[in-house]
Amino acid sequence: MKPLPQDDVVAAAGVVRGTQSFVHVLATCWRRPSLTALEVAWRWAFGIPALLLVWYEAMRILAETPVDFAALQRMTVMNPMASAQTLAQTMAVLLPSVTRVAVWLVPLLLVVWIVVSSVGRTVVLRRADSRLLARPGTLMVLQAIRVVALGGSFVVWFLCVQWAANVTVLGPIAAGGEANLVGYFALGIVATLGLFTLWAVVSWVLSVAPLLAMLRGLGVEESLGAAFRLGPLKGKLVEINLVMGIVKIALIVLAIVFSATPLPFESMTTQEFLVWWWVGVTVLYLVASDFFHVARLVGYLELWRAYERDEDLLRG
């Protein structure tokens, strides 16, 4: 397979913004649907069995645990505190069983994800550029580092949300006042968007390191070190990563909007239609997300190819 072509926009990447060359990359990926197809194939090869396994365990837990489904059905947004109490009681009942399953299921899924994603990413990138070297072992270690970092970001997010709950809900109630739910959700949204943006700014290192390993045949430490020494290319990679973060948010919003589209006509449709509509929207969202994942990696690759003649690139 021939490497991706570079036109004048990409070749002149040193004098244009990263997003300008990225537009060319999007068009190139659109003309090569096999890249997205491979990305979808390896992701779904993991995702479908993983979802089936999680579904099986969830159904087994629900069948063995005395959950008050009637109380859950009576929940309403008009009484959020009562709904929160119902959810807390349900979680207290489910938590022991969920914990027992999570102890073995989560590590299993993470290990399988690291292996499958490393192999799948190797196949996709070598399809994009056959000159790349296969480094599945290095990619597995780098992917494990990325998983740990992503898990840490979720821990930070949870701590932020917990702090927001203490400040706006638990604190006022303990003082004899009323919970400030608007403030709680506002702080939760700010924390979520803030951490999402921060991750988009810093995670490019973990995305480009595997690419450098395949480009230069580097090990784990060398590829991570090289990712921090990319000179003028660094700003363009950050720019692309930020744009991809915005695209992810836009895709989520569009998916929510399309999911809610048939609700005003709920009296004229069947539940089966709604289920299939939501399945279709979910599939379209996942395919679009995979397309932009591929475009980001190919964008990194094209920028590197445009800059690789610079002898000072790795020395920053």
Lowest mean pLDDT among 114-118, 166-170, 295-299, 312-316: 312-316
More confident residue, 152 or 15: 152
| Domain assignment of residue 99, yes or no | yes
Give the separation between CA 181 and CA 81, rounded to whole angstroms: 9
- Is the model's pLDDT at 135 over the cut of 60? yes
* Both structure tokens of 36: 């997205």
| Domain assignment of residue 59, yes or no | yes
Instruction: Identify the band that residue 240 occupies on the pLDDT scale cut at 50, 70 and 90.
Output: confident
Q: Closest by alpha carbon to 146, among 94, 210, 191?
A: 210
For residue 121, give Cα distances in angstroms to 3, 41, 135, 210: 16, 11, 10, 9
Give the separation between CA 112 and CA 226, rounded to whole angstroms: 27
Domain of 60, in residue numbers: 35-128
| Domain assignment of residue 43, yes or no | yes
| Domain assignment of residue 151, yes or no | no
Q: Please, which contacts does 309-316 make with residues 24 or more away whose CB atoms are closer than 8 Å?
A: 310/231, 312/231, 313/230, 313/231, 313/233, 314/226, 314/229, 314/230, 315/229, 315/231, 316/228, 316/229, 316/230, 316/231
DSSP 3-51: PPP--HHHHTGGGS-HHHHHHHHHHHHHH-HHHHHHHHHHHHHHHHHHH
For residue 253, give Cα distances in angstroms to 73, 196, 247, 285: 27, 15, 10, 10
The domain tally of the chain equals 1
Average pLDDT (211-238) is: 84
- Digit-coded pLDDT (tens) for 78-134: 777 777 788 888 888 888 889 999 999 999 999 999 999 999 999 999 998 888 888
- Digit-coded pLDDT (tens) for 256-285: 898 888 877 767 778 788 888 999 999 999
- Digit-coded pLDDT (tens) for 19-67: 556 777 888 888 899 999 999 999 999 999 999 999 999 999 988 888 7
| Domain assignment of residue 52, yes or no | yes
Average pLDDT (197-201) is: 82
- Digit-coded pLDDT (tens) for 173-191: 888 888 888 888 899 999 9
| Domain assignment of residue 241, yes or no | no
| Domain assignment of residue 67, yes or no | yes
| Domain assignment of residue 8, yes or no | no
pTM equals 0.80
DSSP, res 168? I
Q: What share of the chain is helix, strand, coil (3-state, %, to 5)?
A: 80, 0, 20
Residue 19 has a pLDDT of 53
Residue 112 has a pLDDT of 95
